[in-house]
C-alpha cells in the first residue's frame, strides 16, 4: 500500500513542478516568476524526500536541507534586488 | 559577581538552548559527545556574535509560548483546508480579496515579527507591510465578506496571547 | 501494528501530495499576484510537512532507526515561509501597487515600503 501512496505522491509533486515551470514560462511579471521558483524549490524538496523513502535511505535529508536553505536565500536575495537594486548594502 | 560571569558566559541563554537543539537534530544521534559538542557551539557562537545583538529579547512566559505554537500548528492545518476549498470551488470573480489594516497594541519588535508570521500562516491572510511607525499592519485577505470580523479575530486570537507572552 | 502504521503513512503521503499539487494549481488558477501569494505559502507547507512526517514514521517503524532530523527541515520551512511571502509581497507592491490604492494607515505615518528613498539607493528597473 505504501508503494502506491509513494507513486501517487511523487506523481502529484511532479505535476506540481510542471505547473510551476509553466508559470515561470508564461508569467505576467517578474514577481510571479520568483513566486513560481520558490514553489518549485519546495516541491523539489518534497519529491526528493519521497524518493528517499522509496530507496529506504536517509542520505537525501541532508540534500533537501541544503536545497531548502539555498532556495530561501535565493528568493530573499532576488526580492531584495528588486526592492533595493543591490543585495548587500 | 556570579551573575556577571553567567551573563558573560551565556549572553543569550535561549540562543544557546536552540543551538544545542539544532545541533542534536542535525547530527541525528543522541550521545554524550554530541551534547557536549552542541554545548560548546552554544557557548562559542553567542559569545562571538554578541556585538551584533546587544539587547537580550525576553520571553516572559515560555509555557504560554509552547501553547501558542500548538494553537498555530492547528490553525495552519485549518488554513490549508480553507484555502484549498477557495482554490478548488470558487471562481475568481466570486472571491472577494481585500486589504485590511490591523492596528497594533504590541510594541516589542520580536512580538510584531511573530504576529506577522502567524498571520501569514493562518486562514486566508498574508502580511504585506508594516506602517513606518510600527503601529499598523497591512494584511491581504484572500476571501472575506466581513473585513472587520477578520481584524477582530486576529486581534483577539493571536495578538492578545502574544501580549501575554512577550510583555 | 504494522498495518496501522502503513495506513497512517500512506494517508500522510496522499494528503501531502494533494496539497503540494493544489499549491501549484492555485499558482496557475488565481488571477492576481497578491491572491496567487496565498496558494503556495499555505498549501506547500502542509504538503512538505505531510511527506516529512510520513518519512519519519516510515524510518521509525520499518527501518528500525528512529530519525528526527526531518523535524529540522519542517521547522525551517515553517519559519521561512512567512518571510519569503512577505518579501515577495513587498517586491510586488514596490513594482505594481500605488500607495493610493491601499487603505490609509490611520496614523501619522504612511506604509513603510513607500517611504522616501535616499539618492544613493534608487531602485532599478528590472523589466
The tens digit of pLDDT for each residue in B24-61 reads: 888 877 888 888 998 888 888 888 887 777 777 777 77
Please report whether residue A19 resides in a domain.
Answer: yes
Residues of B in contact with C25 (CB under 8 A): 87
Residues of A in contact with C37 (CB under 8 A): 35
Please report whether residue A89 resides in a domain.
Answer: no
Mean pLDDT on A53-62: 84
Domain that includes residue A61, residue range? 2-84
Please report whether residue A43 resides in a domain.
Answer: yes
Can you list the positions of beta strands (E) in chain B? 98-103, 125-130, 136-141
Fill in the DSSP letter of residue C123.
Answer: P
> C24, A86: Cβ pair inside 8 Å?
no
Binned at pLDDT 50, 70 and 90, residue A89 comes out as low
Sort A1 into a burial class: Cβ within 10 Å, 0-12 / 13-18 / 19+.
Answer: exposed
Domain stop point among B10, B26, B52: B52
pLDDT in tens, B104-135: 888 888 888 888 888 888 767 888 888 777 78
Residues B83 and B43 in one domain: no
The total of structural domains in chain A comes to: 1
Residues B68 and B120 in one domain: yes
Residue written as grid cell 501569494? C37
pLDDT in tens, A19-56: 999 989 888 888 889 999 999 999 999 999 899 888 88
Reported ipTM: 0.85
The total of structural domains in chain B comes to: 2
Q: At what angle do helices C2-29 and A2-25 cross, to 10 degrees?
A: 10
List the chains bordering chain B where 3 or more Cβ pairs fall under 8 Å. Answer: C
Please report whether residue B94 resides in a domain.
Answer: yes
Binned at pLDDT 50, 70 and 90, residue C122 comes out as low
Please report whether residue B57 resides in a domain.
Answer: no
Please report whether residue B148 resides in a domain.
Answer: yes
Domain that includes residue B45, residue range? 2-52
> C10, A5: Cβ pair inside 8 Å?
yes
pLDDT in tens, B47-100: 888 777 777 777 777 788 888 889 988 888 888 888 888 888 888 777 788 888
Share of chain B above pLDDT 70, in %: 98
Quote the CA–CA distance of A39 and C22 in Å, as a whole number: 11
Q: Does B87 reach chain C within 8 Å, measured CB to CB?
A: yes
The pLDDT value recorded for residue A7 is 92
Amino acid at each position: 500500500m505504501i508503494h502506491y501512496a509513494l507513486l501517487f505522491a511523487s506523481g502529484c509533486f511532479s505535476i506540481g513542478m510542471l505547473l510551476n515551470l509553466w508559470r515561470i514560462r508564461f508569467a505576467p511579471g517578474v514577481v510571479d516568476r520568483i513566486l513560481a521558483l520558490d514553489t518549485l524549490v519546495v516541491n523539489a524538496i518534497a519529491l526528493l524526500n519521497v524518493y528517499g523513502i522509496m530507496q529506504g535511505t536517509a542520505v537525501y535529508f541532508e540534500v533537501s536541507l541544503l536545497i531548502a536553505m539555498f532556495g530561501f536565500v535565493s528568493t530573499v536575495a532576488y526580492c531584495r534586488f528588486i526592492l533595493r537594486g543591490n543585495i548587500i548594502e | 559577581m556570579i551573575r556577571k560571569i553567567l551573563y558573560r558566559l551565556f549572553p543569550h541563554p535561549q540562543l544557546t538552548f536552540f543551538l544545542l537543539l539544532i545541533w542534536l537534530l542535525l547530527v541525528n544521534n543522541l550521545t554524550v559527545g554530541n551534547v557536549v559538542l552542541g554545548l560548546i557551539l552554544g557557548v562559542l557562537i553567542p559569545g562571538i556574535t554578541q556585538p551584533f545583538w546587544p539587547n537580550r529579547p525576553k520571553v516572559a512566559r515560555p509555557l504560554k509560548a509552547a501553547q501558542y505554537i500548538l494553537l498555530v500548528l492547528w490553525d495552519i492545518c485549518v488554513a490549508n483546508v480553507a484555502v484549498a476549498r477557495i482554490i478548488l470551488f470558487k471562481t475568481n470573480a466570486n472571491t472577494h480579496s481585500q486589504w485590511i489594516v490591523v492596528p497594533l497594541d504590541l510594541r516589542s519588535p520580536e512580538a510584531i515579527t511573530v504576529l506577522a508570521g502567524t498571520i501569514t500562516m493562518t486562514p486566508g491572510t498574508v502580511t504585506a507591510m508594516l506602517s513606518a511607525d510600527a503601529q499598523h499592519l497591512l494584511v491581504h485577505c484572500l476571501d472575506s465578506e466581513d473585513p472587520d470580523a477578520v481584524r477582530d479575530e486576529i486581534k483577539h486570537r493571536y495578538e492578545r496571547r502574544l501580549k501575554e507572552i512577550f510583555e | 501494528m504494522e498495518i496501522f502504521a502503513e495506513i497512517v503513512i500512506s494517508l500522510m503521503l496522499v494528503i501531502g501530495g494533494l496539497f503540494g499539487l493544489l499549491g501549484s494549481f492555485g499558482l496557475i488558477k488565481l488571477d492576481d499576484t497578491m491572491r496567487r501569494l496565498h496558494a503556495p505559502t499555505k498549501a506547500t507547507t502542509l504538503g512538505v510537512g505531510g511527506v516529512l512526517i510520513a518519512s519519519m514514521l516510515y524510518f521509525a517503524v520499518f527501518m528500525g532507526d528512529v530519525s528526527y532530523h526531518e523535524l529540522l527541515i519542517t521547522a525551517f520551512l515553517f519559519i521561512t515561509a512567512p518571510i519569503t511571502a512577505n518579501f515577495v509581497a513587498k517586491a510586488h507592491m514596490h513594482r505594481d501597487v500605488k500607495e493610493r490604492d491601499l487603505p490609509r494607515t490611520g496614523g501619522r505615518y504612511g506604509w513603510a515600503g513607500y517611504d522616501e528613498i535616499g539618492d544613493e539607493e534608487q531602485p532599478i528597473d528590472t523589466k
